[in-house]
Chain A
């Protein structure tokens, strides 16, 4: 064999653990982005899907939905669509985690002298980057159908930051989902089952005022409602939730931050714990 031996200069073992962690995250984030470069169609859930949803809601349902307190549905819609566009990447996160476990790649990573937390962190960072694309797509389609930011640049930046914060926190729930489920199909289905009611029983597409009384509290406390209300308020769009007396409707920005922190505090350590438990496959033999 022609193999050369490794000299100390070839190794990064002298670097501090934190620098090694960042290096590992960088290597693995690059890996996920390389996949997007090779197969751009994997981005369809943050490109084609949001465009379809915006257009369908704006032109099919929009005419039938009245906004309490006035205002056009197109201006109302985008604040809710932003949250949906980001939340709907979570099933994709779960599927990616499952497929890494299925191929044994996670096992390989676990046998390497690398940071174990880096695997999951890199996954969520790569997904955050795709969420940035999703947010931009929603905003561009919004502009095309007549949505405008009237609240100024600063609040608009804050709205996007809140949406991405929530989207990022939600990604960790997706990681956990992938860790506990055993196949890509079930992860996809479970993601759909969780994600559909989460977005539809909220003020993302319709004001909660029109819902039956027993459902209104559920929708009012749904984080998607808070995110939609916060974005509408910051963008200067019609925000009927301002007339709702529930705490999250009155303090949507704080509610989004609380929900995001809660999701992170619960699901990030849980994901790390589950990954330390070992993967499900090849337990026997």
Chain B
């Protein structure tokens, strides 16, 4: 491997790590926002992916559980298409927190734009 391709690989890795870190931080907000409409896990993943926020099942389901434990989501097992699925939606607390987080998100966005 030539030194320049080695540097390119290192840069790609660094970019990928930082990109994932950045996206990881915004995932709870994206999930809460998407769950203003009721979804079960798989459709939620598809919805997020359709909006450019692809998330793997290994990350999404533990996150959903964490948000539910914090009282921001409520879930319910229900049968649909002859299969049991767990449907999630925002709880009243979740709606409140989402509103606050969106304000914070906009403030961060404005600050960053100022810096850029």
A binds B: no
Chain A residues packing against B (C-beta within 8 Å): none
Chain B residues packing against A (C-beta within 8 Å): none
